[in-house]
Structures are given as C-alpha cells and as structure tokens.
Structure 1
Amino acid sequence: MSDLNIYSPLGQQRHNWVRLRTMIILRWVAIFGQIVAITVAQRLYNLQLELGLCYLAIGVSIIGNLIAIFVFPENKRLSEIENLLMVVFDLLQLSFLLFLTGGLHNPFALLLLGPVTVSAAIMSLRSTVVLGVLALIIVTVLAQYHLPLRTEEGFILRVPSVFVFGNWVAFVIALLFLSAYSWKTTNEMHTMSDALQATYLALSREQKLTDLGGVVAAAAHELGTPLATIKLASAELIEELADRPDLAEDARLIRQQADRCRDILRSMGRAGKDDLHLRKAPLSTVLEEAAEPHLDRGKFITFEYNGQEGLRDVQPEILRRPEIIHGIRNLVQNAVDFSEQNVWVECEWADDRISVRIVDDGNGFPAHLIGRIGDPFVSRRKTERERKARPEYEGMGLGLFIAKTLLERSGAELSFANGSSPFSGDRHEKRGAIVEVVWPRNMIDAAFSEVAEITGENRRNPTH
C-alpha cells in the first residue's frame, strides 16, 4: 500500500554479516567430532572402517581451515558465493565420510541437515535452494551406494530396507521444513528490523524539526544583547568620527548590519517561540498541519469535527508530538495516493477517547491483505490499470508500517477496513479504504500531561 522511500538493504545482504573466523571455528568443532566418532567406532566397537580414506577426508578439512587462517585476514566477512562454496565443501566432505561408513545406515547421516538449515538463516533463497537440492541428491545416492559397516567378525551392520526408506523420507521432510522455516523466520526478523530502522529515522527527523524551534528561540535571545552593544558602540563612533567621513561611513554600515541581524533574529525568535507554544495545540490544528503537504495534490481533503454531546464546542488540545504528526501524515498520504477525488478526515472526541478516521473514495484495500496491513514490505501484483496510473509506485507497505508504529507508540490503536465495514457510515461515496485511529484521551490530551505546563513562566533554579 503506502510507500515511504526509506529502505535499508541490510535484510537482503545477511550473508555479509558472517565472519570467516566463525565458519573456521565451526569447522574445527566438526573436525573434532568426526575424529572422535571414527576413533570410538574403530577402537571401542571394533568396526572395520577405511581409516585411510576417512582420515584423508578429515585432513582435507584441516588443510582448508589452515589455508583460511593464514591467507585471509581475521576480520574477513564472506560474500554470498564464498559462503555458499564453504558450505558446499563441508556438505561434500561429510557426505564422503558417510559413504565410507554405511550411508543412511549410519545414524550420523542426520548431520547432513546441519549445513543446509543453518545456511538458510544467512543466505538468499536461491543459495538455500541450491544447497537443499544438493543435499537431497546426496542423501538419495547414499541410500543406494555406500561402503557397508562391518564388525571385526565380518558381519555387515544393516538397517532393514523399510527403515532406510523411512529415514530417507524423514530426511527429505525435515530438510524442506527446517530450511523453509529457518529462512522464512529469519527473513521476517530482518525485514522487521529494517522497517523499524526506517521508522526511527523518520521519527528522528521529525523530532529534530520540532526541536529546531527551541534552538532558534534560544539563539535569538542570547544574541540580542551583543547585537545591542554593537549598535550602541557604532552610534557613538559615528558621532566621534564626524570629521572622518570615510570611517564614519564604515561605522554606519556596522550599525545597518546590526539592525539587519536584529530583524532576522526577531523573526526567527518569534517563530521559535511560536513553535514552543505549539507543543500543545487544538486537535484541528495538529491534524491540518499533518495533512498540509498533501492539500495541493489535486484531491479534496475535508475535515469534520464532532464532539460528544456536551463537548462539541470544547475541542481538545492535544500534544503536538512528532510521532502523531508524522503518523497521521503518512495515513493521509496513503489516502490521497489511492483516492479518486476525495479524502475525509473525521475527528470525534469524548470524555475518555479521541478518534481520527481517514476515509477515501478509492478502491479500498485488497481484501486478501486486510489482515496484513501494517506489516512492513507487504506487496502485491499490480493490475495493468494501476501500473498506468502510478508507474513509479512500488507499494511495499513501509509507509503504513511506519504510521502504525509511530501512532501505537503514542498510545493509539489502529484498525483497517474498506467502505463496506460497519463503521463506514451511511454515505455511499465513502467507499474506499478506512483507517481509524483511537487514543485514550489521557494519552494525548495536553490537560493530562506535564507538557502542558512547559510554556509557563521560567522558575529560578534553587541550586544557583
């Protein structure tokens, strides 16, 4: 749905987060485990193994680790291809050991799941699919072709064929499920992380704009005295340099520029003080400020204000928080983007609640996405009509996610519906998307907050 051009590609490059040193340590652990397993099988249970080939396979892993340690820097991070090649190497090395030790008759065949499922958490979908297909081919081959496990007396240790087939089916199911689950959950975690980062960036920007007024007011106040001193000194110089026209002209120029600085700071100080006073403002003022960037975009935005019986003439003053302004602004932007001609911003208040409902006359939210609205990067295939109307629009849903996150941070609850919803009203022209934002009144009403007292007189600090 709505889109904000704040996007972090981190979630698409998770493989670059993995250090080579981490993979080396994991491989050392695997090498140690393989040596222990082979030693125990040969010494304790007297199994007849191809020890030369087994130790050759383990030695190849050791050599690979030593090369990685001495050739590459300690802080190297793996690219997608490098990570994939390392995991493929480990998978092939493990499958060769299993081929030498009974294939699927070896209970350690379960370890083939490890490299694939772990890599699914850090690699792209394409790399995960490649590893999954490779693992399926390996386990299928090992089910038919392998060296048998023999005891000291020459007996072959075999699992009944039905259990071998069952192990193969279980491996396939586990591989598909665990890989898909690992990739999907990790992808959603990083998507949410990227979206939250974009949300905090947007809030930080809005907060800086809000704080700028206070800085301007303070600067105007502090610079007023030195400028007055400069003006007074320049006036005295003009009188004393009456017989030196060239120097007197310079003194007049200094006074003119001091007057100019005074006028600039006076206007800036007035704007800064106005900003400080607007830390609380009437509900209508805050909503119209939030919608202001979208008033001249060719759509009609209508504001409606309705109070509870007995409160209609007393519009609440609410806190002018950046998250409220930015959140409402994103919702209005979404409505304007997808409306035909009209957008309605309906406000209602009562003793215990304040609600804002944003309605448009567009096609509404896609029915199959209603339950997911507010999740980041929710996208859908666009129709040909939508592509022609807005060819540049991607519709990742990040704007609605940011709006929802910011408004919920201020204490609001959001609900999304289409014009057929029971709370859409009796006017059929309001047939499009509906977003309702409801706050408990004590969460944003300035009368319930200490912020309402900010604009009072300065009090002397008793510590000075």
Structure 2
Amino acid sequence: MRALKIISQTRPILRNWPAEAAGRKNMLLLIQLRWIAAAGQLFTILIVHYGMGIRLPLLVMMIVPVAATGLNLGSLAVLRRRQTVANAELFLALLFDVVALTIQLYLSGGATNPFIYLYLLQVVLGAILLDTLSAWAIVFATSVFAAILAKFYWPLVLPTALAESLFEMHIIGAWICFALIAVLLVVFVTRINRNLQARDARLADMRQRAAEEDHIVRMGLLASGAAHELGTPLSSLAVILNDWKRMPALAAQPGIIGEIEEMQVAVQRCKTILSGILLSSGEARGEAPTIISIRIFLDYIVKEWSVAHAGVEVDYDNSADAGLEIVADPVLKQVIYNVLDNASEASPDWISLSVDQQGDLLRLVVRDDGPGFAPGMLENLGKPYQSSKGKQGGGLGLFLVLNVMRKLGGEVTAENGVMGGAIVTLLFPLDTLGVRRGDGDVR
C-alpha cells in the first residue's frame, strides 16, 4: 500500500515535468530569436538612419534592443539554476517580444511599416509553444497593437528622392519581411517540433514506467499475500517433521531420518524465502539497517546462493574495497539472486560473477556460457514476460531487477559475449547504498 501511495503522489509530477522540461528548451529558442531580433533591429536602424537618410528617434529606439539584451542575460542566469520553465513564463517572454516590436513599429511609421507582418511570427510561435488560452491572448494582443498602430504612430520624414519611390520601397520591405518570417519559421518551428517530440517521447516513457510500477505493486501484493497464506502450512509441516523425527519407530530407521532431515532443510529454506518476501514488501529502506562490509556482504550472498545451487560452478572474483561498508538491504540481495538465477538457468554448469569499483559506482558483471540473448530480447530488455525459457509467466526476473535498479539510480545492461553466452552488468551508485568507510565517514 505504501508503494501505491508513492506512485499516486508521483504521477502529477511526472505528467507536468516533461512539458516544463521542454519549456526550458523552448525558452532557450526564444532567447536565441531575441538575440537575432536585437541584432536585426540595430542593423536596420543604422542602415535606415545613416544609409538611407531617414531620420529616426535613435535614442528611444536603442532602448528596445538594450532591454532585450538585459532580458536575455537575466533569463540565461535563471535557466542555469533551473531545469523547468512553465507556460506562464513562456507567455510573458513572448508578450515582451510583442511589446518590443510594437514600440519599434510605433517609432518607425506604424502600420505603414512593412515589418508589421512580423506580428504573424509571434502568433505562430504562440500557437506552437503555449496552451490554448495563452495563444489566444497573443492573438488578441497583436491584433489590438496592429489596430492602434494604424491610427497612432511616429510619422517618418522621407527625403525627396525616396518619397517619389515610396510604393517600390514598401514592396521591397514587404518582400524582405516575408522572406525573414519564412526563414525564421522554418528554422525555429523545426527545432521547436523536435523539442515537443522529445517531450512526448519522455512522457510516453514515464507512462510506461508508471504502468510497470503498477504491475510490480500488484505482484508485490500478491506475493506478500501468498507468503502469509503459505506461512501457516509450512509451520505445520515443520512441527510434523519434528514430531516424526522423534518417533521411536522412525528413529530406528536411519534412511527415513535422513529424508526427514532433508525435508526439514527444504521447509526451512521455504520459510526463509517467505520471510525475505515479507521483509522486502513491508520494511522500508533504512528501517532496522545492518551495516556490513561491502565485500563481506557480497561474499555471503555468493556463498549462500552456491549452497542452494550446488551443481553450478561459480567463478567469483571480488575486488571491491573491503574498507567500504553498506546498508545491507534484502532488496539488493534479491536483485543479485535474480541475476544469478537467470544465468544458472541458461548455463546450469558454469557462471561467473566479478565485482569491482569504477569511481563512485559498484559494478557487478554476471556471465554465463548459455545460448545468449535473442536480438528481440535485447531490444526489449526489462519488459515483463520477455523470456527465452518458454515458461508461462517467465521473464519477470530481469523485469524486477531493472525496476529495482531504476529506483536505486542504477543501471542494467545486457549483451551477448563475443565467444557466446550472455553478460549482464549491474551498476550501483555507491551513495544510494549508504556507503561509508570503515572509520565511520559517510561517503
């Protein structure tokens, strides 16, 4: 139930996170577009004022690109500390660009300026980047500003030579504006679409993970329920076997006593497994922890597994730092058990386990000399019920391993060896294992 609660609390965050992460990339695109706009405005103002002899209010018009530069620098400073940008922030940034364009148009002829069609660029970007209400707000703002500029603007005083070819100048300016809008739309809309596609892919991946976690929760509830159900008959079997062992008629027969002892070992093994299931499903990480050397912890796991699988030769090499201690979590033990079990089923005579450290990562590599993974299995690594064993319900081992490793911030990779067999690599971040040095310093 605790896992169900955590997943239900996490889902709203997962739904919003991809959109806001894509918003950060789109904000960077708006910043780039604003750099282009500021540079273009400066270039155009200087050409028109000094090259064409059309007098413009230079001091006032220079304020807009300076303000745009300041906004860009401030936005970049904020984005360095943040990974998400909300829709409202994108809306305000786009509204600033609309207002800046309006000011420049007001000071350079208003609606008679052919560059008034740059409003369409803002409308298209708003339709792509913003939610429906914000996009319509941009449409309303640009429409109102365009109407105002048709009535109120700073009239341009043209030299006589230019006044005679005013229509031709307007046509040339309209063509330049059209070409500029077309180029910018292709460049930036293409990049925005890539951001949105990446967001959708991330969202689909998160939904898949949520579905897989739901699947794990259901299996965990079923497993814990079955463990409770099986606990009573196993206890009864243990009592009955103990009574049989003490019966004089059976005690006189060494062969039967040996079989009873084997059954007692098997029952005890089943009870240990059920206890591990209940502990893993009911005890949160960090509750009643056991601190143990990382090397001793792994040595014990391999020894215990080898005893239970006496027919499998285990080539074991552990070069982990013996001075590092971890919080011994039953979940970690079960992860390693699952990987070893999978390897032994594919290669019942021999498997190998090597352990080493790579910086802040603990690496476990399990190899076998079985048939290896089919290409389709490698493509769907960790998907439930993907198995080469042909058993109903198979394929859950790596599925559980992958999801537990994901919770720990770790990584699972699988590949086929050059000489055959399969290789599964587990990478554990040491900080998630509660690692500390033997002198008590926590890493």
TM-score (norm 2): 0.39
Higher relative contact order, structure no. (Cα contacts within 8 Å, ≥ 6 residues apart): 1
Structure in which a larger fraction of residues adopt helix:
2
